[in-house]
Amino acid sequence: MARKASIPDEIMRHKPCNCCRIRDDGGVYRVYKYGALKLRNGSWSSDWGYLIGKIIPGEGFMPNKRYLRELEERHQFDFSDGITDVAYGQYALLMFLSGDVIEKLGVCFPAKKAKQIYSYALILCANGFICVDLIDDFYQESVLALKFADYSIEMDHNALLSLLYDLGNNTDATKMFEHAMTGGVSEDTTGDCYTQLICVPGNDFAGKEYNRWGIGNYDNLIMNDKRLIDTRIQDNSARRGFDFILFVTGVIRTRIEGAVRGLHDPGISSYGLLVKAGHMRMVLEDDKWKLCNTRKKDLELLKGIGFVPEAVLKV
């Protein structure tokens, strides 16, 4: 966790309330609301609580969907316009490279569920490990919520656990997809795909970026890492469903790794490419979502793999 002293004054002055803390996640200033916590020995402490938004330098505090509802219920503010700035580049790049993945998911699952699975995998692919409780925040603050708005996809904790439970029991559909993406190779071989994307630099349990794990390695993390146990993915069916999400994530990962190899530049990694693409955002102006925060050298690099961002988002 970043210390308070490490947060710039220009960020601290946008702190939305007293009972919150700001964390610097690689230049993204996320704001968490915290509360008092009584320990077993009778003393008091505090926990980080839940994510309520982020602070953008030069603009101020941007509340997330959950905090907007909380404020409206308390009749403090009316945020009728909602979120006006969303993450774009990293998701648009991954969607460009993995069109075959959503196409195959659409064959194996109903359209809405296919988009839900794809969105979950894209979020993990772009960000590394994300606790299931926070997936909805990442979804609502991304271009995915705009692209798939017509499907009214639910990405909250209960909806995702229901999805995972269903995937864990509906093995015909999951195996159909796995077969379609692997060409029917053995289960031992396809197991390596499950966790490729979770091995991203910056994660505490990342390892080398191109290291390939078997599914058993991730199961061991689930059992032994307290943070992963806290995801509450404990039911065996839900665990199998989560394994499938990781498989889809790993398949998407192979697409960006292939694109990077095609650049023939040893100085560029798939992680670095996602970071560069992630600089780009979509901002709502005059009822249109417009591309902002672009850099010429990044655009030229991305053009080398065939990706050209939309100047105005088509939704």
pLDDT, greater one: 255 or 194: 255
Query: So what's the pLDDT on residue 56?
Result: 87
Say what the pLDDT of residue 108 is: 95
Q: pLDDT value at position 5?
A: 52
Q: What pLDDT score was predicted for residue 120? A: 96
Residue 91, pLDDT above cutoff 70: yes
In angstroms, the Cα distances linking 190 to 100, 286, 310 are 17, 47, 34
For the stretch 52-65, pLDDT in tens is 888 988 778 888 87
Amino acid letter, 252: I
pTM over 0.75: no
Residue 213 above 60 pLDDT? no
Per the structure block, which two tokens stand in for 227? 């943070």
> Would you place residue 233 in the very low, low, confident or very high pLDDT band (cuts 50, 70, 90)?
low
Q: Where is average pLDDT lowest: 79-83, 194-198, 306-310? A: 194-198
Question: Mean of the pLDDT values across residues 127-131?
Answer: 83
pLDDT at 87 over 70: yes
What lies within 8 Å, CB to CB, of 224 at 6+ separation is none
Do residues 281 and 306 lie in contact, with contact meaning Cβ atoms separated by under 8 Å?
no
- Give 126 or 215, the one with higher predicted confidence: 126
pLDDT at 216: 44
The residue to which tokens 């964390």 are assigned: 23
Asked whether the predicted pLDDT for residue 258 surpasses 80, the reply is yes
Share the mean pLDDT of the chain: 79
Amino acid 77: pLDDT: 47
- Look up residue 151 and give its DSSP letter: G
pLDDT, average across residues 120-139: 90
What CA–CA distances, in Å, run from 213 to 150, 167, 246, 248?
A: 36, 22, 11, 14
- Provide the pLDDT confidence category of residue 204 given band limits of 50, 70 and 90: very low
Which of left, alpha, beta for 20 (phi over 0: left; psi -120 to 50: alpha)? beta
pLDDT at residue 42 in the model: 66
What pLDDT is stored for residue 286 in this prediction? 82
Distances (CA, A) of 84 to 245, 246, 295: 29, 30, 21
